[in-house]
Amino acid sequence: MNKKTLKDIDLKNKRVLLRADYNVPVKNGIITNDYRIKQSLPTARYILEQEGSSLIIISHLGRPGGKPDHASSLEPAATHLADLLGKPVRFVSDCVGEQVERAVQNLKAGGIMMLENLRFHAEEESNSSDFAKAIVDATGAQVFVQDGFGVVHRAHASTEAIAKALPSAAGLLLEKEVETIAKVMKEPEHPMVTVVGGAKISDKVEVLNRFIDLADCVAIGGAMANSFLAAAGLKVGKSLVEPEAYDTAREIMQKASQAERQRPFSFLVPVDVVVSKNMEGKAPARIVDLTNQAIADVTSYPKKPDPAAFEVKEDEMILDIGPVSSGYIAGAIRLSRTVMWNGAMGVTETKGIAGAHAPFSHGTRTIVDAMIGASRQHANRPFTFIGGGDTVGYVEEQGLVDEFGHVSTGGGASLELMGGKKLPGIEALQGK
């Protein structure tokens, strides 16, 4: 981190504007996953501990499209933050204008205020310097602290323009995220395994290429794996695919093949998959043995397997990696010292019916067990870095956050940083 951080600036008697990332799931006015809010607490507490300081928090929630939307209000976040801090948090139903100016007049030292969703104004996402100035003018802020790691890969008014309007610094969470990723990407402890899922290859080209150069094993899962399989000429039925990325998939596989010939390296694409006719979990699921046909042979013995055992039918879709594929990945993880994981291996949102296990989460659960399983002594676990919104959501839902080395609050930001890109919201901060 070559930018000023929270502890590099004087906050005494200052009104601090904090950009947090409170883009959290809300259902019926109740926050259902508060991980990002909890991760922002050290920064908020540090600011409030400084003599005479006061705190104004800005954030976005959802994609309201530049206009007010009650379902995307940050008021539930303000209420929840107050509970976590044990202090009142005043909520203001706008982020610019006279209403904010009046509210700020009553903000005393030690006070906390949260402003309404930045994205209720279209100028936020257009990176308007006038909008950034309007926020600064309305709040009377004297210092800007960027702690919303999940948004610093976007050039928005509250990430880039505003950092140029005030003395600025990185918050404790942002500093921790950047330092952790930098260390893992520059000085990983080997063997290093990277597990990459998600929907699109196009979102992860840079990071996949970088991992092939850096890691000892790269494993592919999730809907993204469908495109690799299709690009290799295998039938994938009505699975979610990205046809425009087939050439990219072939280039990545060719690069991986070269790496396998030059050094000890493995590139794992699913050899078996779990398929069904819909992803709601109401239709039967089955395993398709794509390449090695081991499962097909065993389940059909003494007869020869039916061709359907190793082909995805036209009316079926791939919804998870199979047990052999997940076993390969788990084996690599158990021999590793560093694991980078971004993206679930299947459709983890689908719940099982009639008391059954979630039908398309077996692959994801298998690799999680390999990372943190009870059969391993704690001291022998690899360092595990978890990134990506859906991945973090799964880990949080399972109550496993504390079992991993680092669970990132930013999906796109962590991927772009790992891919070697410069992030606008960090670049705009003052240098040391």
Catalytic residue numbers read: 36, 200, 389, 412
- Taking the CA atoms of 157, 135, 96 and 80 in sequence, report the sign of the dihedral they define: positive
273 with 287: CB under 8 angstroms? Answer: yes
296 with 324: CB under 8 angstroms? Answer: no
d(CA 344, CA 363): 8
Cα 423 to the chain's mean position, in Å?
15
Q: Name the phi and psi angles at 27, rounded to 5.
A: -130, 120
Q: What share of the chain is helix, strand, coil (3-state, %, to 5)?
A: 40, 15, 45
Could you tell me how many helices (H) and strands (E) the chain has, helices first? Answer: 14, 17
d(CA 301, CA 332): 30
The conformation of residue 346, written as its DSSP 8-state character, comes to S
Strand blocks (E) in 234-337: 266-268, 272-276, 285-289, 317-321
d(CA 380, CA 331): 14
Q: Where are the alpha helices (DSSP H) in 61-167?
A: 75-85, 98-105, 129-139
Parallel, antiparallel, or unpaired for β 317-321 and 272-276? Answer: antiparallel
Parallel, antiparallel, or unpaired for β 285-289 and 272-276? Answer: antiparallel
Q: Is 334 exposed, middle or buried (0-12, 13-18, 19+ CB in 10 A)?
A: middle
199 with 30: CB under 8 angstroms? Answer: no
Output the six-digit token pair for 312: 């995805």
